Structure 1
Amino acid sequence: MPFDPHAPDALPESRARRDRHAVARWLLLVAGMVWIMVALGGATRLTGSGLSIMEWAPLSGTLPPLSHGEWQRLYDLYRTIPQYALVNQGFGLEGFQQIFWLEWTHRLWGRLIGLAFLLPLVWFWVRGRVPAGLKPRLVLLFLLGGAQGAVGWFMVYSGFEADRTAVSPYRLVVHLGLALLLFGMLIWTAMSLLHPERDAPPEARPLRRLAHPVAGLVVLAMLAGGFVAGLKAGLDYNTYPLMDGRLVPAGYGLLQPFWRNLTENVAAVQFNHRLLATLAGLGALALAAWGARVLPAGRARTALLALGGVVALQYGLGVATLLLVVPAWLGTLHQSVAVGVLAAALASLHALRRPKPVAAA
């Protein structure tokens, strides 16, 4: 059953509104935690920490190693994988502990997100404060969160294969895409609870035709960025706007069949990310300028201006990350702001929603 914020509610309107706002604030809090989780994931990838824990222990893994023997056991496990032999050989137990703590924090934060969702969900449910029609969606969100943990381990496991020092780019993109889907659903549901009315001004009608493809380009650029991260493609072609002196890099279609270039060819993957980001940026800036000119002051105008601003910031961060050859702190910031771009795109789409037709008498 789809969630309808206008569904009949047996509670008085003031009580129903309080419940909607309380649930929305909770969902926004969880969305903020997912945002931090994405940032932590970027940091673990950029520092090579993601493969430091070779066990998936959802319960016992909550506690870090509490004895020297346990530290040594985990370190000995790590020394069996190619990343240690090819990248970190001889960095000792102290070096292992440095990469371990970041990955452990990443996994612990995921467990905290689960608790931050499950416990309030039970409380709202038992007290009858879940808005009408929302229960199926909340259950789906909880299941998606659990699936994200399993997909995360599926991704990490690929890094233990004999010929790898990092995880599979395909699995990394699936993991990132599921996190963005979860974040997007949380944000959209919260906005629908806070703003159930569809009150976009009449001037918004032509803007909708541009807003949807721009949002689609934003998502495609983010997923393309996942392949850039997975292939470490940002370590090559560190010039802008040309790539090795060319607009389209040599070797763009080197691999056969051609579709493999879209996900496995460093030159093509980086070029595609640049192209999609540029198109999304131009579209977002056009939307912001158009909205500032024709829309009255209000939620829709504010959302479009925010989208233009955060996209411009993200594009600048992307260029700086490339030119500086992906320092870990800047790469993490770039990945984090990408989630802000998604939030702004969703806020714009939500504020521009088409008004529901008025039923005939």
Structure 2
Amino acid sequence: MAQKRSIFEEVGTNEVSKPAPQGGLIEKGRKGARKGIRAWLVVIFALVMTMIAVGGLTRLTDSGLSITEWKPVTGAVPPMNEAAWVAEFEKYQQIPEYVLQNEGMSLSEFKSIYWWEWGHRQLGRVIGLVWALGYAGFALARKVPTGWHKRLLFIGVLGGLQGAIGWWMVSSGLVGERLDVASYRLATHLGLAFVILGFIAWYVFLLGRSEAELLQARRNKDAKLFSMSTGMLHFAFLQILLGALVAGIDAGRGYTDWPLMGGQVLPPDPFYIEPLWRNFFENPALVQFIHRVAGYLLFAFGVVTWLKGRKSANKATAGAFNLMGALLFFQVVLGIVTVLHGAPLALGLAHQLGAVALFVAISRARFLSQFPKSQSVREGL
């Protein structure tokens, strides 16, 4: 017979307490080491950005053809004695750049350009090693979030492809009568570097928020701003490729007046090379003119995009577009100053790094258009 309960007894005091429901169990199983992977990608991002800067200096100092062989493993060891240095120098003396431009160069002068190219290649090896060790560590520890293996492997594949394209670029300057590498191959090499940088930046942005936050944020996507910023990103990438064509043939040093070129709107003899299509890659005047015009168009479209973005109701998104607009204006001014001074080493490098900063700023504005940060009603007022 069941015991009688007091009317003053709390209901359910003798029942076994049930554990409180725990939310986010699916998210907990999916998140992995998001912070750790994000930090690792930030390191790779910094290394790739340094690689772009060193690559720019290698090009601006005419050092890229000083190493005439591609040895991914053994090439990591530089010449260790005088005989080895002489052997490397003799290989360099066989290529057109030495015969047609640098004949009479001393061994000490050769060493200075050799170290630039060796450092550039060595940095590429370091990036590959950091990626491989990092990915292997997270994969073996089973800390890679669900759906991220393919993304991280994709970065590694692009890095390996970049090394092969780098040699494809260098090999174009080792034969014939060419004094430098082919400009379109240089543009391909630099373009892929920016593709890698862009994907890493996007992944870093994604890993900075939880999957649940991203899912919620996507419901508030600003489709118009996302579309405009995507257009900006593609346009900026095209301008970066055009800049590489300019750098590849030293076209930035031919005309140092602005806004005219040689006192004219259209520079003199823009189509003197036969066949006609070669002018768009090898005619310094036409290549610089196209780069200038594309810059004006990019700036105009950027202003329209900034005016739209700065009015976003989301403060973080509006701030991202304000930063993009400021960097765009700075980059245009820096480009003009670089031209007026004949593209010296320091300004040329600053202009290239400015392109990196602008490209990432556009990517961030695009990301926040798709995944706006949550804010209170008061913040939106």
**TM-score relative to the length of structure 1:** 0.89
1:30-179 to 2 correspondence within 5 Å? 30-179=44-193
Is residue 323 of structure 2 the alignment partner of residue 306 of structure 1? Answer: yes
- 2:330 and 2:153 map into 1 onto residues whose CA distance is 35
What is the identity, as a one-letter code, of the residue corresponding to 1:132?
A: T
1:230 is aligned, of 248, 252, 262, to 248
Matched with 1:323 is 340
Write out per-residue CA displacement over residues 249-308 of structure 1, whole angstroms, 9 at most, x where no aligned residue. Answer: 23334456654433232222111111111222232233334323343322x122211211
Q: Secondary structure at the match of 1:308?
A: helix
What is the identity, as a one-letter code, of the residue corresponding to 2:124?
A: G
Distance apart, 1:123 and its partner CA: 0.4
Distance apart, 1:200 and its partner CA: 6.9
- 2:29 and 2:104 map into 1 onto residues whose CA distance is 63
- 1:318 and 1:201 map into 2 onto residues whose CA distance is 39
1:287 is aligned, of 285, 305, 311, to 305
Q: Secondary structure at the match of 2:191?
A: helix
What is the identity, as a one-letter code, of the residue corresponding to 1:353?
A: Q
Identical positions, percent:
36
Which runs of 5 or more structure 1 residues have no equivalent in the other structure?
A: 1-9, 356-361
1:221 is aligned, of 239, 262, 280, to 239
Q: Call closer, same or farther: CA 1:282–1:101 in 2, change over 3 Å.
A: same
CA contact (8 A) 1:167 1:230 kept: yes
- 1:89 and 1:260 map into 2 onto residues whose CA distance is 28
1:254-293 to 2 correspondence within 5 Å? 254-255=272-273, 258-293=276-311
- 1:236 and 1:64 map into 2 onto residues whose CA distance is 36
Q: How many residues align?
A: 345
- 2:44 and 2:273 map into 1 onto residues whose CA distance is 42
Matched with 2:358 is 341
- 1:303 and 1:89 map into 2 onto residues whose CA distance is 51
Distance apart, 1:340 and its partner CA: 1.4
Q: CA RMSD in A?
A: 2.2
Matched with 1:207 is 225
Higher-RCO chain (CA-CA 8 Å, sequence separation at least 6)? 1
**TM-score relative to the length of structure 2:** 0.84
- 1:245 and 1:202 map into 2 onto residues whose CA distance is 51
Moved more, 236-245 or 256-265: 256-265
Higher Rg of the two aligned structures? 2
- 1:91 and 1:255 map into 2 onto residues whose CA distance is 31
